[in-house]
Structure 1
Amino acid sequence: MKFLHLESNKLTGHIPHVLSKATSLMTLNLKDNTLSGPIPLWISLLSTLRVLLLKGNQLEDSIPLHLCQLKSIRILDLSHNHFSGIIPFCLDNITFGREASLIDDTFSTDVEYSIDEVSLMPFHDSQLSVYTALGVNFEVSAESEKIEFITKNRSESYMGHIFMSGLDLSGNKLTGPIPPEIGNLSGIHTLNLSYNQLIGSIPETFSNLKEIESLDLSHNGLMGQIPPQMVELNFLSVFTVAHNNLSGKTPERKFQFATFERSSYEGNPLLCGLPLERSCTPISAPPTVKPLVSNNRENNSWEAIFLWSFGGSYGVAFLGIVAFLYLNSSYRDLLFYFIGKHVPFFRLWG
């Protein structure tokens, strides 16, 4: 058995151990079921796997290191499960379409693909293999092998030789930084790490993803600047880092990055530059200085008014007391008697 498709059923429980004996499997498709538990250790025995689709289950625990032993995989889809922990740094052991894997003749014809379930199936007599089962002859062609994989934000169906390569870990609970080793996947076409809890910066090694066509890092907690070297990714047609904590200036608007709209960057409060409306030009100092000067002048005028009013009040009060004593001789004599008795200077002078 080389191709096993059990997607979109109601399969439950763990991934069955009996599959460990299917060491000739090239495609294992178990997506959109309700399988649970971790990815089993014996998965590393399926050394001929080219496509592993486990999307849309309830698988949990961390992404195991022994998955990195499947070096010939071209498409690995673990999205929309309950995986937690960090992204294994050893994923760069998998070829994901690097030159060494291009000689792979697993599928016998060039790729034909279609959008939204409509498939084009090339047919060449020279590629047919004849099998016999229960006395009935039937023909099986590698061209009839159909793979569906989300890339460039749409579902595409691939027939025949799978040239596309991709890694989808979106919709899980992965934490920690993105390993710089992911940037060594120079032959990968699609990379989706969105809707996780990843932190840290975008690795500068991502500028080595020379074949990348779709890169989605949105809805995480990534920080720091978008590496400016990424503008050299000439095949990138879908790019989004929306809804992170990125800061600094957006990449220069040239080559492919000139085509990306505001939606690729939105949800990063500290990110500035086109195509965002937030400018990276610092606000000039004079507008902030002028109000301070006017405030100081206003404060000084109020202080002068207070001092003049305070002095005037005391002057009026003093003159009032003098006039009162001048007009009332009894109070004036009583005041002089009090001063002469209690103040030594006036007592000696008297």
Structure 2
Amino acid sequence: MESPQKMMSLGCFLLLSLLAFSSCSHGAGDARVRNRRSLTLSHNLSKEYKPSVDDRLFGNSKLKQAYAALQAWKSSIYSDPMNFTSNWVGYDVCAYNGVVCAKAPYNDSLTVVAGVDLNHADIAGHLPDELGNLSDITLLHLNSNRFCGIVPKSFMNLKLLFELDLSNNRFVGPFPEVVLGLPELKFLDLRFNDFEGALPPELFSKDLDAIFLNNNRFHSTIPETLGKSPASVIVLSNNKFTGCLPSSIGGMAGRLEELILSDNDLSGCLPEEINMLNTTTVFDIGKNKFTGDLPRGMEYLQSLEMINIEGNEFRSRVPDTICTLPNLKSFTLSSNYFDALDPVCSPVALPGLEVDDRDNCLPQEQQQRDENVCRKALSEKVDCSAGNCRRPIKQEVPKPNPPPSPPPAPRPQPPKPQPAPVPAPKPMPYFAPAPTPTASKPLPAPAPITFKPAPVPVPSPEPEIPELWPEPAPAPAPAIPPVIYQSPPPPPPPLAQSPPPPPVFSPPPPPPRFFPPAPAPAPQVPEEAITIPFSFEPFQLPPNLGAHYVSPLRQPSRATKLKSFSSSTGYVLFHP
């Protein structure tokens, strides 16, 4: 009896001992994990952390510092199925997979780590704080991996970083504002992650050439600073952006080439400022909640190659000016409520243009919405001029209308100069007092009267009517009347007998000529002077030549292209 009891006691003792040992070992394992993780925390490792290795193993202190950062990064990797970082051992960091070394731009004799490219390595892990010690890198490419967590604030030390690609990973948290402090950054790619919250307005004030934020969880309105961005490509699709498309978008004219805002919750009417985007080739606002009609003036988008407005609530007529854009190749307007389409926008009208007009309210078109659905939707009127995201242009349009009213004021003025020529013919019909007011001196009035009879015998020799105005205009014309007025004081009485005087007064004109002693030349010149005032034919002014207005030339599109690694940063690639 005693032996079985002793055996049971011994078994219980062994079982308890085993359990105690396993719990201790498990606790020790947890402690080692916690200790390992604590090594990557910023409060345990300083920015100038240096491993306890001989400095003589590295070419310079920069490479030793890079070695410490890369080893800390490798220790934070949980999974590397393709063994991409398997050779991250030893002190020759320039031989590590994905690590690029080059001569420092500020010192040709110094070799530094200039970039890290781990694209498509399928690595799982997080970014340790020590990466901030890679202060000489100009590119960091981590596309298509499984990195998680947040972007460390130590990235503020990457003052030379030109390209940052964190796309297609599992990063979380708000927009990493640390990137806004990178002075040389031009390419920012954060797409296909789990970033959330609002976009900082400073993002579009930064000198970036490409901004990719699509397929995240951003939830806010698009900042009004959008129009200040110098970027040529902006992609904000597949998020939860709400509100209006900022009217400041017109400020990107001449710079923006691609704007993609599809799959969001943007609403309201499109601002007319989009017509200023004369260099834009891709305009995609599909699958939002935009409404109303398309803005006027879209014919100014001369560089457009692709327009996508599908899946919205647009209505009214599709402007024919869109389909006639010279470079347009694709126009998608399906799933809206358009009720009129110009024949030129028909899918078969232009051979080189693809038009998708399905699921609209277009009569005599196939694959359209149900008639009842269209009637209900079109019965709800949308006034885009009532401050519905299109206020700036609509308010300025009526302002030019008042100014046209003042222009009528100048119109009465032109007739005033016209009466001036009318009195000129008045002297012709034997009205001595009438010519006196037209000419400041009373003497010129009788002058035309004496000339009128003379032309009767001499109309045939020189009927030069077009020279009617050239002679009175010059100064010598008024000089002649004074001489005539002094000599013909007697003629006024015969003036009453207008019919006989014509032959009698033909001789008097020669004496008033400038040279009375020379009879031969005198008759030739007076004939021109006499025939001019005598002609009763209507005078016709020469037609005015219309001024030609040359439309301003389109500013050349500025397509900012990302520079290559060596040309944009000044680095010369180093091959170890």
Pairing of 1:165-176 with structure 2 (within 5 A): 165-176=209-220
Alpha-carbon shift at residue 19 of structure 1 (Å): 1.6
Q: Note the 1:129-140 alignment, pairs <5 A.
A: none
Instruction: Give the distance between the partners of 1:166 and 1:218, measured in 2 at CA.
Output: 17
Q: Is the 8 A contact 2:130 2:154 kept in 1?
A: no
Query: CA offsets, 1:49-82, max 9 Å, x none?
Result: 1110011001111113222111321110000001
Seen in structure 2, the aligned counterparts of structure 1 residues 66 and 220 have a Cα distance that, compared at 3 Å, is same
Q: Secondary structure at the match of 1:3?
A: strand
- Residue matched to 1:38: 150
CA distance 1:220–1:6, change in 2 (3 Å)? same
1:86-235 pair list within 5 angstroms: 86-96=198-208, 165-185=209-229, 187-210=230-253, 211-235=255-279
Instruction: Kindly indicate whether the alpha-carbon contact (under 8 Å) linking 2:314 and 2:338 is maintained by their aligned counterparts in 1.
Output: no
Query: What CA deviation, in whole Å up to 9, does each residue of 1:252-286 have, x standing for no partner?
Result: 3313268466x6111002454426470489xxxxx
Superposition deviation, residue 13 in structure 1? 1.9
Distance 1:229 1:51, change over 3 A: same
Gap change, CA 1:260 and 1:249, over 3 Å in 2? farther
Distance of aligned partners of 1:272 and 1:51 in 2 relative to their CA distance in 1, 3 Å threshold: farther
Overall identity of the aligned pairs, in %: 26
Q: Does 1:74 align with 2:186?
A: yes
SS in 2 for 1:44: helix
- Does residue 6 of the first structure (1) align with residue 6 of the second (2)? no
Residue among 60, 65, 84 paired with 2:177:
65
2:288 is aligned with 1:244: yes
Aligned residue type for 2:268 = G
1:231 and 1:257 in contact (8 A); partners too: no
Q: Distance in 1 between matches of 2:287 and 2:299?
A: 23
Whichever residue aligns with residue 26 of structure 1, its letter is: T
Aligned residues: CA RMSD: 2.2
Does residue 18 of structure 1 match 2:63? no
**Shift in alpha-carbon separation, 1:258–1:32, aligned structure 2, 3 A:** closer
Q: TM-score, normalization: structure 2?
A: 0.35
Is 1:278 the counterpart of 2:323? The answer is no
- Show CA shifts across 1:195-234 (max 9, x none): 0011011011111113010000000000111111111111
CA distance in 2, matches of 1:255, 1:212: 15
Maintained 8 Å contact 2:121/2:145: yes
Structure 1 length-normalised TM: 0.57
Q: What secondary structure sits across from 1:83 in the alignment?
A: strand
* Paired residues of 1:12 and 1:34 also in contact (CA < 8 A): yes
Structure 1 residue 93 displacement after superposition: 4.3
Q: Which of 1 and 2 has greater Rg? A: 2
Count of residue correspondences: 212
Counterpart mapping for 1:247-266 below 5 A:
247-251=291-295, 252-256=297-301, 259=304, 264-266=308-310
In structure 1, stretches of 5+ residues that fail to align are: 97-164, 282-287, 289-350
